[in-house]
Structure 1
Amino acid sequence: MHPEDALADEVQAAVSAAIGTILKEEDPVKRYQKLGHQLTVYDHVVTRIADEKAQCATDLASKGESFARVAGLLSVGTRSRAQQLVGRGRRQPVIFAFRDQDGEIYGDHHLLATMPHDEARLQFEPADRDLFFAGQQLQVYFGHVHEDTVTPSLYTYTTVDATTGERRVRPTQRVHDILFGIRTDR
């Protein structure tokens, strides 16, 4: 058997396991919705696999391997590609919840009870002064949250705490959306 045939068989087995029963759904609307949900799940799976691959590069670099050596060991091509992988593998904490000046907590506040986290202040001064939280000093909660649990935003905020001073931290997309006016839930 050729390697590409073996891969095709493996892909077919994965498709059957992932969506075999969904494909039997006769109602096209329900089938479409179920496939959409499954696609979201698998997008997160792919992201998680990529994160774990990056963590392998980080583990090698943490053991003292140069980026060039990491690139060679992992067959990723260039030193700069290995450096990118190591950067991705070094998970940074994200702001997953915050408390406003009235004491209300927003975001994924359920994680406060189950996850180690740090706290800092965020003076929220967006350009749009009409936003609900504009001008407030917020208490933010951040920690190392797995990306399959939350989606990090592309933005960073400057937080301040007495121990470390100023620090740039990415919020989760949910926290960013709440701060910038998309308040469908807390």
Structure 2
Amino acid sequence: MHSETTLAAEVEAAVSTAIGAILKEDDPVKRYEKLSHQLTVYDRVVTRIADEKAQCAADLASKGESFARVAGLLSVGTRSRAQQLIGRGRRQPVIFAFRDQNGELHGDAHLLATIPHNEARLQFEPTDRNLFFAGHLLQVYFGHVDEDTVTPSLYAYTTVDTTTGERRVRPTQKIHDILFVTCTDS
């Protein structure tokens, strides 16, 4: 472990590298805008680091280590905390936003700025043809979203990506509700 003095020095070096030039900006509005952008970048970095740490726990569990052993090896405290990390490492991405045929975004579109995500197409063909989006080709956005922020749906949709082909992805409950609750006036 690092001493507090060493950690403080590492933080200052990281701050200098990440935003040193921005802090020299004289215009407070421009400085604020640049800092906001950097914060978005670093939020993604922090999320990625947390995901990679969780993957380490999942990798240990995949090798047959018990939750208690993973907790000890990673110094995370309790068996329960190790189980949470393993779950995060194994979790699947969810569809958290989509763009309809008219270009309008739906769902948690604000997460596009902070969540690393993939894009795919979803040809929405439910049996109930009275649903608003029935028959639409949707552009969906999916990624690893904190389950404290969103609730994954129990259903999965088949999406198509030009590089990976077909893939089953669960939507958030919010996306599922938008697709299945919003009906047209007949």
Normalized against structure 1, the TM-score is what? 0.63
1:93 is displaced (CA, Å) by 3.4
Deviation sequence 1:53-102 (CA, Å, 0-9, x none)? 000000000000111111111111111111100110013033378797xx
1:137 is displaced (CA, Å) by 5.3
Normalized against structure 2, the TM-score is what? 0.63
The count of residues paired between Structure 1 and Structure 2 equals 155
Structure 1 portions without partners, runs of 5+: 114-118, 162-166, 181-186
The alignment-based identity, stated in percent, is: 60
Residue identity opposite 1:134 in structure 2: F
What is aligned with 1:83?
A: 83
Aligned residue runs from structure 1 range 33-182, under 5 A: 33-95=33-95, 111-112=119-120, 123=126, 134=132, 136=134, 147=144, 154-157=150-153, 158-159=155-156, 169-171=170-172
Computed over aligned residues only, the root mean square deviation of the Cα atoms, in angstroms, reads 4.3
Whole-angstrom distance in 1 between the partners of 2:146 and 2:91? 13
1:141 is displaced (CA, Å) by 7.8
Residue identity opposite 2:29 in structure 1: V
**Are the structure 2 counterparts of residues 96 and 146 from structure 1 closer, same or farther at C-alpha, using a change threshold of 3 Å?**
closer
Whole-angstrom distance in 2 between the partners of 1:134 and 1:146? 25
Residue identity opposite 1:30 in structure 2: K
**Are the structure 2 counterparts of residues 106 and 77 from structure 1 closer, same or farther at C-alpha, using a change threshold of 3 Å?**
same
Whole-angstrom distance in 1 between the partners of 2:17 and 2:54? 26
Kept after mapping to 1: 8 A contact 2:156/2:171: no
Kept after mapping to 2: 8 A contact 1:124/1:138: no
Kept after mapping to 2: 8 A contact 1:19/1:35: yes
Structure 2 portions without partners, runs of 5+: 106-111, 113-117, 159-167, 181-186
User: Does the residue aligned with 2:64 lie in a helix, a strand or coil?
Assistant: coil
Residue identity opposite 1:156 in structure 2: P
1:123 is displaced (CA, Å) by 3.8
**Are the structure 2 counterparts of residues 124 and 17 from structure 1 closer, same or farther at C-alpha, using a change threshold of 3 Å?**
farther
Whole-angstrom distance in 1 between the partners of 2:78 and 2:157? 37
User: Does the residue aligned with 1:65 lie in a helix, a strand or coil?
Assistant: coil
